[in-house]
Amino acid sequence: MASSSHRVWFITGSSTGFGRTLAEAVLDKGETVVLTARKPEQVEDLTAKFPNRALAVRLDVTKPEEVREAVKQAIATFGRIDVLVNNAGYGTMGAIEELSDEVVRRQFETNVFGALDVTRAVLPHLRQQRSGHILNFSSVGGFVSFPGAGIYCSTKFALEGISEALAQEVAHLGIKVTIVEPGAFRTDFNGRSLVLSDTQIADYEPVISSFRQWLQDNDGKQPGDPKKAALAMIQAVESDNPPLRLTLGADAVSAIDAKLESVKAELYAWKEVAVNTAFEGAEVGAIGG
């Protein structure tokens, strides 16, 4: 990978939230950033402050033509991309039955297909360089699903599955992949970036109302500091042995740890049933081995 002073970052959704905070931290370190946003005028203050190291590019990740053009502009301007950050995304709140097909598909178009499209557009350049690092923004909800957030969480589960496979596919090419799993951080996720279902079915209220209320009540009060999260992501990129999963926040660590214990307990409780499903005498090895 290029030295840190010449490293070029390509960050989606860089006008607000984690994307904006990470871009500011990277620029403050003397590195270069391609700031992509649906409204690039919202990052013009950064391009004015860092005219030689910041490029604002219009990018709606759900529009393939804008994806191709943004990557083209980045390469034409800086000659390379070293770190791709798939940050653009938002959350949808509602029970599975409550959310319309349109809402569900729009959530997947942005959080999954948008990130996938950007990744596939950047990968040829990373392969040619034989270096690079991809940070895919998941969530604690990409490992632990919550009632009322099933569709949002499912998009992050999908991104984690893509990222796990991708990490194995590109490791020999010098390309690294890290899944970022934040807990509750003080961004606009619980506010502007959270879409609530227009339909509410009374039968689900006892299950999801408390979580919905918690999201709303904690907007602006989340314990996580986005600036510290940005520094943690930079540390991962600078590491010789970066994690596949970078969990951020004590709340995320606790939730994922509890999920792992639960999965392990259930796995072993049903292990005998599970292993007694092979043909008699069949040799069973590791999947993919």
pLDDT at position 198 is 79
What confidence tens digit (pLDDT) does each residue in 132-157 have? 999 999 999 999 999 999 999 999 99
What confidence tens digit (pLDDT) does each residue in 202-215 have? 999 998 888 777 77
Cα separation, 127 vs 200, whole angstroms: 47
Which residues are annotated as catalytic? 138, 152, 156
Amino acid at 174: G
Give 115's contacts (C-beta < 8 A, 6+ positions apart).
12, 61, 86, 88, 89, 136, 137, 159, 162
Q: What is the DSSP string of the chain?
A: ---GGG-EEEESSTTSHHHHHHHHHHHHTT-EEEEEESSGGGGHHHHHHSTTTEEEEE--TT-HHHHHHHHHHHHHHHS---EEEE----EEES-TTTS-HHHHHHHHIIIIIIHHHHHHHHHHHHHHHT-EEEEEE--GGGTS--TT-HHHHHHHHHHHHHHHHHHHHHGGGTEEEEEEEE-SBSSSTTTTTEEEPS---GGGHHHHHHHHHHHHHTTTT-SB-HHHHHHHHHHHHH-SS--SEEEESHHHHHHHHHHHHHHHHHHHHTHHHHHTTSPTT-----TT-
What stretches in the chain show pLDDT beneath 50? Answer: none
Cβ atoms of 30 and 8 within 8 Å: the answer is no
pLDDT at position 289 is 65
CA-based max dimension of the chain: 70
Cα separation, 142 vs 151, whole angstroms: 11
What the chain holds in terms of domains, given with CATH numbers, is 4-251 (3.40.50.720)
pLDDT at position 3 is 55
Cα separation, 214 vs 207, whole angstroms: 13
